[in-house]
Amino acid sequence: MPESLAYNLNFLHPLLMWGLLALSGYGMFLGIKAKKTRTADAEARKPLIKGQFAKRHFQIGSLILVVMVIGNFGGMAVTYLNNGKLFVGPHLLVGITMTCMVVAAASLTPLMQHGNLIARKVHVGLNMALMTLFLWQALSGVQILNNIWEKRPA
């Protein structure tokens, strides 16, 4: 693989993850709207139903799941290709934890569709923790990008 291509691949993971952070924020917005629709009284629910928030939340959540898993493994693959090793540190470990959390949150969907309130609360809790970790990952990722940029080939 040409050295410049390998170097440029370093920027694919962060771009994908920043996009995923924005998409996750949108997914959270849709989830909040879906809850409002589900818990509203009959009169207030009528205009909210038109937004199909639950359906859109499910679709965006599915997209978040696949991009998170592929983005995580892609970031590890690029790091390994460029360095011959992975750097086991907080950014990697939190990223792996986040991937497990998003898989666990998505796996609760069938239970939530059957009205399981505990599954719904666990789903929300996992995703709120995930968003918090995601914000930290964005900051630690910028520090990693700065290190890569400073060591760029001449």
For the stretch 60-83, pLDDT in tens is 999 999 999 999 999 999 899 888
Query: What number is the average pLDDT over the span 34-62?
Result: 95
* Residue 6 confidence (pLDDT) above 80: no
Angstrom CA distances, 137 to 9, 72, 144, stand at: 19, 12, 10
Confidence of residue 2 (pLDDT cuts 50, 70, 90): low
Angstrom CA distances, 115 to 87, 101, 111, 123, stand at: 42, 21, 7, 13
* Residue 151 confidence (pLDDT) above 90: no
Q: Is the distance from CB of 142 to CB of 4 less than 8 angstroms? A: no
Fold of the CATH domain 3-150: Four Helix Bundle (Hemerythrin (Met), subunit A) (1.20.120)
SS3 state of residue 7: helix
In angstroms, the CA 137 to CA 154 distance is 28
- The residue extents of the domains of the chain are 3-150
Determine which helix (DSSP H) or strand (DSSP E) holds 153, and give its type and residue range: none
**Which stretch of 18-27, 56-65, 71-80, 114-123 has the lowest confidence by average pLDDT?**
71-80
The string over 26-63, giving b where at least 16 C-beta atoms fall within 10 Å of a residue's C-beta and e elsewhere, is ebbebbebbeebeeeeeeeeeeeeeeebbebbbebbee
In angstroms, the CA 87 to CA 44 distance is 52
